Structure 1
Amino acid sequence: MKKILPAILLALLFILTASSVGYAADIQMKVDGVTILAEVKPEMKNNRMMVPLRVISENVGANVHWSGTEVALTKNDRKIVLTLNSDKAVFNGKTVLLDAKPYLKDNRLFVPLRFLAQSFGCTVNYSHTTVSVDTKPFYIDGVQVAAVQEEIQMTMGSIVDELQGHAYIETMYNLLMQNKGNEVEAPARISLNVHNRLPGDYDQVVQIDFVGENGDSITSFGLYAEVPSEGEDEGEPKVVIYAETEKRWYAFSSKASQEIWELNAIAGKNGFLTMISNTTP
């Protein structure tokens, strides 16, 4: 009997340990209701939820800058500086103590979720094996934006993608508004058929529509790129933007148009960009 009891205790300990490890490995993270499709999942360490830095920074809209063992995260008027393996952080110039130190694992920096999320104005909730982060809703002229719909015209039909997540929506809007240049004349000719376009025509790159919770459009923008002449070094295309609300045309940064595609790529990787319509053959 004495030999059996330790064996039972060891078996129970093994089961509990395995269960605990499995629980940590199965943690899912949601931001604004969207399950994050990250390669590396959050994990519990010393009873604190730790997440890969890129996961939290990308999905709450924070910019990241590395300097040695320090990393700075900025969003609007908020700035956080973290140091690897240090329980001290700097938030808007003031030193604060962390209840969990940032650490490296598999070449990724894990950071305390609750501190970062709340420092950027987010709320954090836990339910079983899911941790939910809700960012602040984004508003245009007092109306909450529910999603951004992006339509790309093809030779036949079109594809419509939907961008979700408050941080992604805000970043998209800022990219459009902050990169408008001087007002310009409307293009003389907009090509709707790739086979009939001429040098100097403008192709529509994408139509971007910010929609409210009822599905109605709040505001929309159209991006157009000039068709180069034959043999001309394409380089960076000349891009213009049409602001539907203003009914005006503006020059637009070609670099910013590339940043829009990069934003979409990140959003798609994390589960925030989905195709909602495809009318191409």
Structure 2
Amino acid sequence: MKKIFTGLCLTTMLWMATPADAATTQIKIDDVVVKSDTAPEQKNNRTMVPLRVISENLGAQVHWQDSQITLAMDQTTIKLNLNNRTVIKNGEKEQLDVQPYMKNNRTYVPIRFIAETFGSQVHYNQGTVNITTEPLLIEDEKIKVLRYEYHMTMGGVIQDIKGNAYHQALFKIFQEKKGDKVEAPKEYYWHFNLEAPGSYYKLGQFDFMSHDQNSVKQYDIYTLNQPFPEELLQGYPKVLLHDATEDNWYLFSEQAVKAIQQLINSADSNGFSKIISNTVA
């Protein structure tokens, strides 16, 4: 009798622990575990994730109007409404299995529908949602990682940024925000030169690396050393972009630099950044 009772308990426990669609414990995008202060949830055997996971790590632009959410990427647009299963995808109505909802000031949306609509592949493995996005191609080379390097007074930092959406977004800024081509500055360095008015300091180096660890494209951002009288700096642009691969120089903007830094900060906070070397004292 004791053996029968034990067997029944064990069967019940196994049945409870292995439903048709096991509870999701984490999300991986391009093999990176996404950091989030809010865990995914299961509703009607569908995985619901905070909207931030979509907007920051899949590269979708998000726009709110009242209770309607618009997600856009490339030529694809999705419109969803809180507490409503009807969704408009590229102008056509569809029905979701689970409606978006608000919980603890977080908006939850169905990850599979949105990810697949934006061209990503989704599969589940032992409680993990694995999402694979399209890699950035430069000169027909798939980009594996973006290596970002910057120096400070007493050392430097090298970090690798993963995630195809981050690669796409950063490369787009470099491509679209560069201004007119200009001549190379007479003096430019990795460090501050406080003895040379009109010299430039390298804010950061960005290497788009292939799977075999070769640099496919390198951009460097330089800023004007400014602790000089204003009359000595007239005519010097504040920010320059160096396409180191082609050895061409362009005007660049402070707004573009801020946009790049915001993406890097987002990658870091979401788990897509790894420090390779840190010699900062």
Are 2:132 and 1:134 equivalent residues in the alignment?
A: yes
CA contact (8 A) 1:191 1:197 kept: no
**1:16 Cα shift?**
7.7
Measured in 1, the distance between the counterparts of 2:280 and 2:14 equals 53
2:104 corresponds, among 103, 106, 115, to 106
| CA positional deviation for 1:231 | 6.4
- Check if 1:269 corresponds to 2:255: no
Deviant stretches of 4+, over 6 Å:
12-20
Aligned counterpart in structure 2 of residue 194 of structure 1, from 187, 192, 195: 192
Cα deviation 1:38-69 (Å, max 9, x = unaligned): 00011101111111111122111111110001
Q: Deviations over 1:210-235 (max 9, x none)?
A: 00001011010010001224465x9x
Alignment pair present for 1:254 and 2:254: yes
SS in 2 for 1:181: coil
Q: Which residue of 1 aligns with 2:34?
A: 36
Contact 2:199 2:225 in 1 (8 A): yes
Distance change in 2, residues 1:192/1:35 (3 Å): closer
Q: Hey, what does 1:81 align to over in structure 2? A: 79
Match 2:224 to one of 222, 226, 241: 226
Aligned to 1:155: 153
Q: CA deviation at 1:247?
A: 1.3
Q: Matched residues in 1 for 2:110 and 2:218: separation?
A: 37
Give the distance between the partners of 1:48 and 1:159, measured in 2 at CA: 41
**Matched residue type, 2:264:** N
Select 1:90's aligned residue among 63, 67, 88: 88
Percent of paired sites with the same residue: 37
Q: Distance in 2 between matches of 1:95 and 1:193?
A: 56
Q: Structure 2 CA distance, aligned partners of 1:199 and 1:75?
A: 44
Question: Which residue in the other structure is 1:241 paired with?
Answer: 241
Instruction: In structure 2, give the amino acid aligned to 1:35.
Output: V
- Partner of residue 58, structure 1: 56
Cα shift at 1:195: 6.0
Q: TM-score by structure 1 length?
A: 0.88
Instruction: Give me the whole-angstrom Cα distance separating, in 1, the residues matched to 2:210 and 2:80.
Output: 36
Q: 215-224 vs 157-166, which deviates more?
A: 157-166
Aligned to 1:118: 116
CA distance in 1, matches of 2:249, 2:55: 33
SS of equivalent residue, structure 1 residue 265: helix
**Could you tell me the TM-score, scaled by structure 2's length?**
0.88
Paired with 1:14 and 1:221, the residues of 2 have a C-alpha distance of: 56
Residue 102 of structure 2: SS of its match in structure 1? strand
Contact 1:32 1:133 in 2 (8 A): yes
For residue 75 of structure 1, what is the amino acid of its counterpart?
A: M
2:215 counterpart of 1:217: yes
Specify every segment of 5 or more residues in structure 2 that has no aligned partner in the other structure, as ranges: none
One-letter amino acid of the counterpart of residue 61, structure 2:
N
- Report the CA distance shift for 1:61/1:84 in structure 2 as closer, same or farther (over 3 A): same
Q: 1:98 deviation in Å? A: 0.9
1:116-139 per-residue CA deviation (whole Å, 9 max, x = no partner) reads 000000111111111111111111
CA RMSD of aligned residues (A): 2.5
